Structures are given as C-alpha cells and as structure tokens.
Amino acid sequence: MHPTLNIAVKAARKAGDIILRYHNQIDLLTIENKATNDFVSEVDKAAEDAIINELKYAFPDHSILGEENGEILGDSRFQWIIDPLDGTTNYLHGFPQYSVSIALYVNNEATHAVVYDPFKEELFTASKGDGAYLNEQRIRVTNTNGFENTLIGTGFPFKVPHHLDAYLGMFKAVHPQVSGIRRAGSAALDLAYLAAGRLDGFWEIELNIWDIAAGALLVKEAGGYIGDFSGRDKFLETGNVVAGNEKVFKALLKTIHPHLTDDLQR
C-alpha cells in the first residue's frame, strides 16, 4: 500500500472507532439540524477532528476540505476531501449503512481514496494506476451488457426537493428495464459497492463533493465510468452523478436524459 494511502487508512480507522463507540448510545447524542433533512452530531465532528489530526500530523502543509469543518487552507496543490460519516441519518436510526470517506486530490486529480465501513469492517481503497481493493483483494465492476439483469443504486433528492419530479421521471424510466433499484443512504458506499461489483450502476442528483470524491476514484480504478448527467467529467462541480461499467453508464445516461430539467443539464 502506498505510504500516503496508508495514512488515509489509519485516519479512516480512527474515525471508525469513534463512530462505533457511540453506535449503541444514539439516544445520548446531541443532534443538530444543519438544514432540512441534514443532521449532524458530535460523532460526526469528533470523527472529522480525528481524521484532520492524523492528516495534519503527516502532511502539515496540505489543505483539507471537510463536511463539518469546511476548508482548512494549505498548499492548494494537495487537497484532502473528507466526509467523516456519510450516512448520518442511517447512523442515527441504527441502520448499519454508513461510511468514512477520504480522498486526496493532487493538482485537482484524485490520487488516493478510502471508503471505510466500520460496522462491517470493510475497507475499500484505491490509488491512481494501482487498481481498487476491498480488504486488500482486487475488485472490478461488473461486465453486464446494458440494463438486463442489473441492480442499480440511487439516492432520493431529499435535500433538493425541487428536483423530485425530475427524479421520479428518471426512476420510472429506469425501473422497468432493470432487475432492481436500491437506495441505501450512503453515496460513498454506493460507489464502493459499484466498484466491487455489488451494484451495476448508480445515479443521484446534487451530491456534495465529499460524498463522491473517494468513491469516484474507486469506480475508475475498478474499470468503471463516472460522469455528470451529460457524461462529462464535471460531477464534482455539479454533484450530479452517473456511474457504471461502460454499457450501463451509457444506458443510464440515455435513459435519464429526457427527464433532465434545464438546471440539471448545466
């Protein structure tokens, strides 16, 4: 494992330890609303602090962008993008589908990524050019030929309800063509599952950059494709994500395109 990736794994495991420490004591946590349907607890904050401390110890000059602490300025060539607890709503309800997401971008290009599920002890890692791994075993996207017999991941636009009609149009168009659609509540894990062949494709509207920064590299290094709703490499900017193997990626783009509103085509 690359030394830089090893530091990221160490940081993710420390955050995971904090997350598990409280997972059976949710009723004791102080929970705040950052926005409608967007929650944060002291676990999110403590987990992010643990990640930042680990990264800053190893790379004091690097910049960091975190969901809870915002941007910590440093050398802009090196930016860590972190989500200490992707799937907070799941976590707060005892639903065991959540993850820690950490990615390093060098000159705006993803170089290392970690998505860690502490509850299941599953560690997804990738370094540019070195492939993607689950618990040190190489993973690849599926080789399904289009939509037939596929399982597709998605996310509801609960933070952007003005996109609900467009989303439902997409859902209705995709649903009859595939074997199933799953909404599990952690986009970082959805992309990791796609990289591991557990899902064949994925799409979601207006995700945050920290939700997808690590998962995107996992998908690419596992042989998959990821883009925005026009198929371009602008998904970190728009938050609109389509991913899959080559044929599922193209099928998803074609199927959802008629349902895109003007602001989803930007």
One domain for residues 114 and 202 = no
pTM of the predicted model over 0.85: yes
Are the beta carbons of 240 and 202 closer than 8 angstroms?
no
One domain for residues 56 and 183 = no
pLDDT at 170: 97
pLDDT at 34: 55
Q: For residue 241, what are the domain limits? A: 151-264
One domain for residues 123 and 32 = yes
One domain for residues 163 and 189 = yes
Domain-embedded: residue 7: yes
One domain for residues 105 and 168 = no
Domain-embedded: residue 144: no
Instruction: State how far Cα 195 lies from the chain centre.
Output: 11
Could you say which residues of the chain have pLDDT below 50? 37-39
pLDDT at 21: 86
Q: Copy the structure tokens of residue 226.
A: 């990821």
pLDDT at 37: 44
Torsion of CA 13, 16, 18, 21, to 10 degrees: -120
Whole-angstrom CA distances from 239 to 23, 165, 203, 212 are: 29, 18, 10, 8
Q: CA end-to-end span of the chain, whole Å?
A: 38
Domain-embedded: residue 146: no
